[in-house]
Amino acid sequence: MWLFLGITFSLGMLIPGNLSFRLQYNGDQVLHIVPETLQQVQHLQHLCNTLMLDLWKPLLPEDISAGADLNIRVPAPLVQEVKNSLDQHMISYKVLIPDVQDLVDQSMPRETNSHRQVPEGYVYTHYHPMEEIYQWMIQIEKNNSELVTRHYLGKTIENRTIYYLQISQSPNKPKKIIWMDCGIHAREWISPAFCQWFVKEILQNYKSDPKISRFLENWHIYVLPVFNIDGYIYSWEKDRLWRKNRAPYKNGTCHGTDLNRNFNSSWGSVGVSYNCSSEIFCGSGPESEPETRALVHFIKQRKRDIVCYLTMHSYGQYILTPYGSTTEPPSNSEELIHVAEKAAAALMGKYGTRYEVGSTSLILYSNSGSSRDWAHMIGIPFSYTFELRDKGAYGFVLPPEQIQPTCEETMLAVTAIMDYIDQKYFPDGAVMLTSGSLSLSLCLGVVLAWSVS
């Protein structure tokens, strides 16, 4: 019954260029709770299960624990009932977001598409719908043809094309690879915003920054700005808080798989749901989704060359290492933590933002089927998940004024990881010779020696 009470539609909220109606969250509140006792934990679990409240952190009622943060979105018609229940059980709470719709409105562009100049004058401090991101990718390639090429990765469940960008000097030369993807969860808009910012910073600064110039000489950098394209579009056009892809299940009565629980890394073992209406539904099987299969196929073909896998998410301010399904650390755990700590220190140096570093299962919650764990399990040595700003004051509806500081500090963290890896693989700063370039060098050496003699 709460679904009918909590979901309202506004006839006045037409989407620019689209006749669909956008879901409203007027009066919905996000509450922050830190349960103190087992009895409080059990009552909160009961509330979440019976009222089907939207858990933001953690994602499952069974992961609620004493002394740990709990953030829940409560639909407007249930706010007073939930607060009364918390008061009766002497559970303290704080209102993090008094009206979710206010923040949703702030994140949406005020201009219609016809007035937004895209991609000329592209504004990196705004969130952009998928149509504009597609245009941006085309223009980025056109304007930087010496460094950037756009490539086909695959198709989504709704038959949209997934593209990634390759950035490097000598793009056809065999090199090691650094991979970054964004937007695996539709509602985490700060993630695609960062991928675009990252590309902008690389292209603007590679001529003046010796470090970035060295990265492009030594590496191919692959960037996938939006992985979950169908879900991202749905979050713009219908439901700002949509998380999953748009795969239909049960004859279309429910939709969507959590793509970050769909990889074949202890798939379905922990921190998932088999209910297709759940936010963390893991799919009908490992790699059941075309988006997942496209990425898996691509990575497997290049896994010998991919040294670093980065996947950008929100929120919580974490740099997470494998694994999420077990507390047993990977063989290079100490190095992974060391590098992540260097990244967190670099990030904090900008605005003082603190990120927690560690294994997902130890510092956040257990989950299985993640792309981070899968990438490490198939042999990619450095694999990290970034959970970007913030700690919960805005959560999944981070306002646009947070884009620039978030991206600036995250850029420092990512380049710290890249710098460590670059120095590890190229300790003398030299570009690794391929067999072809080595043969050419030997030939030149023979010619020079002959001419001198």
| Confidence (pLDDT) at 302 | 96
Whether residue 441 is contained in a domain is answered as no
pLDDT of residue 2: 41
Has residue 75 been placed in a domain? yes
Residue 246 lies in a domain: yes
- Residue 160 and residue 269 in one domain: yes
Residue 433 domain-assigned?
no
Based on the fold, state whether residues 177 and 289 are members of the same structural domain.
yes
Per-residue pLDDT of the chain (453 residues; tens, 9 = 90+): 343 344 333 333 434 444 346 899 999 999 999 999 999 999 999 999 999 899 999 999 999 999 999 999 999 999 999 999 999 999 999 999 999 999 999 988 765 444 555 556 899 999 999 999 999 999 999 999 999 999 999 999 999 999 999 999 988 889 999 999 999 999 999 999 999 999 999 999 999 999 999 999 999 999 999 999 999 999 999 999 999 999 999 999 999 999 999 999 999 999 999 999 999 999 999 999 999 999 999 999 999 999 999 999 999 999 999 999 998 999 999 999 999 999 999 999 999 999 999 999 999 999 999 999 999 999 999 999 999 999 999 999 999 999 999 999 999 999 999 999 999 999 976 544 443 344 444 343 433 344 433
Q: What's the pLDDT at 171?
A: 80
Same domain, residue pair 159 and 99: no
Picking from 107, 142, 160, the residue at the C-terminal end of a domain is 107
Secondary structure in 3-state letters for the chain: CHHHHHCEEEEEEEECCEEEEEEECCCCEEEEECCCCHHHHHHHHHHHHHHCCEEEECCCHHHCCCCCCEEEEECHHHHHHHHHHHHHCCCCCEEEECCHHHHHHHHCCCCCHHHCCCCCCCCCCCCCCHHHHHHHHHHHHHHCCCCEEEEEEEECCCCCEEEEEEECCCCCCCCEEEEEEECCCCCCCHHHHHHHHHHHHHHHHCCCCHHHHHHHHHEEEEEECCCCHHHHHHHHHCCCCCCCCCCEECCCCEECCCHHHCCCCCCCCCCCECCCCCCCECCCCCCCCHHHHHHHHHHHHHCCCEEEEEEEEECCCEEEECCCCCCCCCCCHHHHHHHHHHHHHHHHHHHCCCCEEEEHHHHCCCCCCCHHHHHHHCCCCEEEEEEECCCCCCHHHCCHHHHHHHHHHHHHHHHHHHHHHHHHHCCCCCCCCCHHHHHHHHHHHHHHHHHHC
63 and 155 both lie in a single domain: no
Q: What is the pLDDT of residue 255?
A: 96
Q: How many structural domains does the chain have? A: 2
Output the pLDDT for position 121. Answer: 85
Could you confirm whether 387 is annotated as catalytic? yes
pLDDT of residue 21: 66
Same domain, 170 and 51: no
- Which of 188, 201, 237, 387 is an active site residue? 387
Q: Are residues 88 and 129 in the same domain?
A: no
pTM beyond 0.85: the answer is yes
139 and 21 in a single domain? The answer is no
- Same domain, yes or no: 140 and 97: no
Instruction: Write the CATH number for 92.
Output: 3.30.70.340
Q: What is the CATH classification number for the domain harbouring 132?
A: 3.40.630.10
Write down the pLDDT at residue 352: 98
Question: Does residue 437 lie in a domain region?
Answer: no
User: Whole domain around residue 31: which residue ranges?
Assistant: 2-107
